Chain A
Amino acid sequence: MLFLTLVELVYLFGMSRVISLILFLCGAFTACRGDQHAAVLATGDSVQLVRAVKGHELVVEKQGQTAKIRLVGIYTFDPQVQEQSDITRYGKRAVDFVQTKTQGVPLRVVLERQAPDPRGRYLGFVELAGVDLGRRLIDEGYAAIYTEYPFSREANYFAAEASAREVGRGLWGGGAARKRVRALRETWASVRARAGSGAISDPLSESAR
């Protein structure tokens, strides 16, 4: 399929240049996809935060090697987006919250699944001094529950989210953010039902109807 595109390039720029371009791209690919996150994690490991990509996506360090963790069961907005609404603001606040709370503090990893996902991220929870970081983000209203896949601490998280929502804390007080979370929850609920992972009783998704 890509062959003809390649043929066009060869015709336009000459063979040698295209070969060097391909070699460059292969090099870039290896550099990008290289063994950056080499650390192997297991439940009970103690790690340090390197940085938070999103509120729910952390790069951590274990004995000089790094790994990526996707916090299970929560969803925070991307702080990089240019939406110019409270969505970006809550994305940034979630990242700030994680960075300030966990900087220099040892974190305990509790994996939900042993092997990393296709994007090379470990799926699990992170605890600092016995407190679940994901649950704290929900408490503060910086994260909503990610309902697309079932996870072990669902009931606990729903209780936390209900009280944050009741007082309109964080994104539950915001206009665009709150609306977006509702839309996302609708989607997740239907995807989950279709995947046969069992329907959940999501008060948000029902109230949105």
Chain B
Amino acid sequence: MNSTLYHPRRTCLAQSAGWMVVLWLGMLAPNLALATGTEEASGHSVIQNIAISLVAASVLGFLMKLLRQPLLLGYILAGVAIGPIGFGVINEHQDIVTLSEIGLILLLFMIGLEIDLKKMAGAGRLIMIPGLLQFPICVAAAYASFAVLERLGFDVGAGSYARLYAAIAISLSSTMIVVKLLFDKMELDTLPGRITVGILVFQDIWAIIVLAVQPNLNNPELAGLARTFGAGALLVGVAMAASRYLLPPIFKRVAQVPELLLVMSLGWCFLVALVAAHPFVGLSMEMGALIAGISLATFPYNLDVVAKAVSIRDFFITLFFVALGMQIPLPHLDVIWIALGIAAVALGVRLFGVFGVLYALKGGHRASLLATINLAQVSEFSLVILTLGIGLGHIEQDTLTYTIWVFALLAVGSTYLITLSHPIQSGVSRLLSFVGFKDLDQSHADADQVDHHPIVLLGFYRIASALFEELSTKHPHIARQLKVIDFNPQVKQKLDALNVAHVYGDISHADTLHHAGIHHAQLVVCTIPDGFLRGTTNVRLLQNVKSLCPKAKVIVTAETVAQTLELYAAGADYVLEASQVAGDWLASVIERSIQGELPRIQEAAIKDLRQRTEVLA
């Protein structure tokens, strides 16, 4: 069995390697052809540049997957490979940089969608205080460290404000990397995850303050700053008012058309972003998107929007990292050396700014260390701030060059750190206790939310409605263990009224299942036949569920005998075939009717139906 499995895999690898060579040749061909052309001919069109970027990203992404390295590294390396210091296929990357900003906007929109202000306020001082203090503490510690290092002949750049800029740059962590990794690890909703995201949101606010002060760094003016913050507060107020009074009826109407729901949400995101970027308001589009996201966060449809927008975002984010790779200059030993030093300072100051503050607030080893590990990288936003600083004549290119390297080093490093965060945390925690930093009593330690709904119903239609009625009248203890995933807002309303656990989302997206916490399930049931399913099938659902929670038993639904057998072959634990059940039942009804029992059966059926209070009437 093993050997038969092994060989096809090897052939597959060999084939993939072959394809990769073909793809590379394809990528190089235009370059070789253009090398002999005129100078104007070497400028690719935007679409060609995007095409080359994505081909390179897919090739190196695949390579990283084979080598079990972070995908992000693959994208950055793809940029290096096709950029000026690699094969030089793309020399003008400005268009791609511009386009990839859409990814940043969508990212912040989705962060906003996932920010539950009530929950954040509920987490209280463990988020507010570190959020407020982390940035200033890190900047101060980094500035002091650089001042000391400069005395030792280790300088972070030639410009007048190099030290200050470098300190600011390394004090911001990458929302993009952290949120993506925590999202994948499903740790966003744990206490350390909430602290991490809370600090990141405060960092965004700090970054906006930096952007507002930056042009006036030589002579800061109070009036200009006050105006920026006033405009920001006004926009938040207007967006929140709209989400309270204007948007709910509109969204309720479009919620049944998943496509329109996505378009409406993105429309809202970009509308607020456009207003934010208007010179009169003077904020960034990214900040507008964040505000738009937060204003929609309390809507029941946000999980569905996130699941759908995630692929659009990933497209642009991939371009963002490829474009970043293209900007990496040729590495000199000196540059790498300084970048390593700056990276060490970046990690060091987080111990003060994140761990130190959280520990002092009695956050306990676990939450404090995990948040510190989560935040151990540099923000892509820092690169934006530095680029602006160069244009303003505050710093020179060398500071940006070092920071790009620090960003790349820590981006890759933190992917490993976050993936291994739990073993690292417990190791460091033991050492800390040994050194004398006592942990909290175990009773005080946070308990990550455990899901108590081991039975998950995928989709809620007629059969599910009947099933729910049966269970709640005859086996209420089982009904209490149910959790429903469905995108019908009316179902949601009724289930809410009945106090049934419910997640609004499209079951055809694996992401929805993932974030609905399906990995906790012991039994997963889909009662909807393929004819009613949109964008998926029972087979595909079965495969998704089996990969997300291999231990769970799965019950699915078929319409024909052949399909039933197919589903069993695909690993279903039980297949409901409604026509078989109905035929069976009808046969017994006919049998009893011959014995003259039909009036009794009819009476019982009507009585039963009158007592039912089904969700779907």
Contact = CB atoms under 8 A, between A and B. Distances in A.
21 contacts: A2-B347, A2-B348, A5-B347, A8-B417, A11-B424, A12-B420, A28-B333, A28-B337, A32-B337, A33-B153, A78-B397, A80-B329, A81-B329, A83-B397, A84-B91, A84-B92, A118-B151, A184-B393, A185-B393, A186-B218, A187-B392
Interface string A179-209: 0111111111111000000000000000000
Nearest to A187: B393
Nearest to B424: A8
Interface size class of B (residues with CB under 8 A): 35 or more
Interface in A11-56: 11-12, 25, 28-29, 32-33
A184 B391 CA distance: 9
Interface of A: 1-2, 4-5, 7-8, 11-12, 25, 28-29, 32-33, 78, 80-84, 118-120, 148, 180-191
A17 to B, nearest CB: 15
A32 B160 contact: no
B206 interface: no
Contacts of A84: 91-92, 94
Given A187-B159, A187-B161, A188-B160, 19 more contacts: A1-B141, A1-B351, A1-B352, A5-B348, A5-B351, A7-B428, A8-B427, A32-B333, A80-B329, A80-B330, A81-B397, A83-B397, A84-B94, A118-B150, A118-B153, A119-B153, A119-B155, A185-B393, A191-B160
A12 B424 CA distance: 7
A4 B351 contact: yes
A33 B154 CA distance: 9
B196 interface: no
Say whether chain B's binding surface is mostly helix, strand, loop, or mixed.
Answer: helix
- Which of B329, B355, B390 has the most C-beta atoms of chain A within 10 angstroms of its own C-beta? B390
B396 interface: yes
B588 interface: no
B194 interface: no
Contacts of A180: 390-391, 393
Contact of A190 (B92, B153, B219, B334): B219
A80 to B, nearest CB: 6
Contacts of A189: 218
Contacts of A83: 397
Contacts of A148: 160
A26 to B, nearest CB: 12
Interface string B140-155: 0100010000110101
A188 B396 CA distance: 12
Interface string B337-380: 10010001001110110010000000000000000000000000
Interface of B: 84, 91-92, 94, 141, 145, 150-151, 153, 155, 159-161, 218-219, 327, 329-330, 333-334, 337, 340, 344, 347-349, 351-352, 355, 390-394, 396-398, 401, 417, 420, 423-424, 427-428, 431
B84 A182 contact: no
Nearest to A33: B153
Nearest to B372: A4
Given A8-B428, A81-B329, A190-B219, A1 B348 contact: yes
Given A1-B351, A32-B334, A180-B393, A187 B428 contact: no
A118 B147 CA distance: 12
Contacts of A4: 351, 355, 428
A119 B329 CA distance: 22
A114 to B, nearest CB: 18
Given A7-B428, A148-B160, A186-B218, A82 B337 contact: no
- Which of A8, A148, A181, A190 has the most C-beta atoms of chain B within 10 angstroms of its own C-beta? A8
A25 to B, nearest CB: 8
Nearest to B335: A80
Given A12-B424, A119-B155, A183-B391, A2 B344 contact: yes
Contacts of B333: 28, 32
Contacts of A29: 337
A1 B417 CA distance: 18
A186 B393 contact: yes
A32 B155 CA distance: 14
Contacts of B91: 84
Nearest to B398: A78
Given A4-B351, A12-B420, A187-B392, A82 B84 contact: yes
A32 B153 CA distance: 11
A28 to B, nearest CB: 7
- Which of A4, A181, A191 has the most C-beta atoms of chain B within 10 angstroms of its own C-beta? A4
B384 to A, nearest CB: 15
A52 to B, nearest CB: 16
A207 to B, nearest CB: 15
Nearest to A82: B329
A5 B344 contact: yes
A187 B394 contact: yes
B1 to A, nearest CB: 36
A81 B349 CA distance: 29
Contacts of B401: 81
Contacts of B420: 12
Contacts of A33: 153
A186 B347 CA distance: 34
Given A7-B431, A118-B153, A78 B396 contact: yes
Contacts of B84: 82
Nearest to B355: A4
Contacts of B159: 187
Nearest to B373: A8
B219 to A, nearest CB: 7
B397 A183 contact: no
A4 B354 CA distance: 13
A181 B396 CA distance: 11
Contacts of B391: 180, 183
B327 A82 contact: yes
B416 to A, nearest CB: 8
A12 B396 CA distance: 37
A170 B583 CA distance: 91
A68 B550 CA distance: 65
Contacts of A8: 417, 424, 427-428
A11 B417 CA distance: 12
A78 B397 CA distance: 8
A82 B21 CA distance: 29
Contacts of A5: 344, 347-348, 351
B102 to A, nearest CB: 22
A121 to B, nearest CB: 11
A182 B392 CA distance: 9
Contacts of B153: 33, 118-120
Contacts of B392: 183, 187
A12 B151 CA distance: 32
Given A7-B431, A180-B393, A190 B155 contact: no
Contacts of B424: 8, 11-12
B155 A187 contact: no
Contacts of B396: 78
